[in-house]
A = this chain, B = another copy of it.
Amino acid sequence: MSNDILIENGLLIPMTQGRPVIENSSVLISNGIIQDAGRAEIFSRYDVKTCIDAKGKIIMPGLVNCHTHLPMSMFRGFADDLPLDVWLNEHIFPAEAKQVNPETVEKWAYHSCTEMLLSGTTTCCDGYFYEENVVKAVAASGIRAVAGQGIIDFPAPGVPDPLQNINIAVDFVKRTKDRYANIYPSIFCHSAYTCSARTLIKAKSAASDLGVMFQIHAAETENEKNMVKEAGKSSIIEYLELTGVLDENTLLVHGVWIDDDDIELIKKAGAKVAHCPESNMKLASGIAPVTSLIERKVAVGLGTDGCASNNDHDLFGEMDTAAKLHKIALMDPCAMDAGTVLEMATIKGAEAIGLGSVTGSIEKGKKADIILVDTDKPHMNPMYNPFSALVYSAKASDVSLVMVGGRILVQNGKLL
Contacts and interface: CB of A to CB of B under 8 A. Distances in A.
Contacts of A78: 382, 384-385
Contact of A314 (B278, B286, B328, B379): B379
Given A281-B324, A396-B395, A397-B395, A286 B333 contact: no
A315 to B, nearest CB: 12
Contact of A77 (B321, B323, B389): B389
A310 B83 contact: no
Nearest to A311: B392
Interface of A: 73-74, 76-84, 87, 111-112, 114-115, 118-119, 278, 280-284, 286-287, 310-314, 317, 320-321, 323-325, 327-328, 330-338, 377-379, 381-385, 388-389, 392-393, 395-397
Contacts of A77: 382-385, 388-389, 392-393
Given A81-B337, A81-B338, A382 B324 contact: no
Contact of A82 (B313, B324, B333): B333
A87 B332 CA distance: 13
Given A281-B325, A282-B327, 19 more contacts: A74-B382, A77-B382, A78-B382, A78-B384, A80-B385, A80-B388, A111-B378, A118-B378, A278-B320, A281-B328, A282-B392, A283-B333, A284-B330, A286-B328, A312-B392, A314-B395, A317-B317, A321-B321, A395-B396
Contacts of A330: 284
Contacts of A389: 77, 311
29 contacts: A73-B381, A74-B382, A76-B384, A77-B383, A77-B385, A77-B388, A77-B389, A80-B338, A80-B392, A81-B334, A81-B337, A84-B333, A87-B333, A114-B378, A115-B378, A115-B379, A118-B378, A278-B320, A280-B328, A281-B327, A282-B327, A283-B327, A284-B330, A284-B331, A311-B388, A313-B379, A314-B395, A320-B321, A395-B395
Contacts of A378: 73, 111-112, 114-115, 118
A76 B393 contact: yes
Contacts of A282: 323-324, 327, 333, 392
A350 B100 CA distance: 43
Contacts of A388: 77, 80-81, 311
Contacts of A312: 379, 392-393
Contacts of A87: 333
Contact of A284 (B82, B333, B338): B333
A397 B380 CA distance: 14
Nearest to A221: B331
Contacts of A114: 378
Contacts of A80: 337-338, 385, 388, 392
Contacts of A313: 379
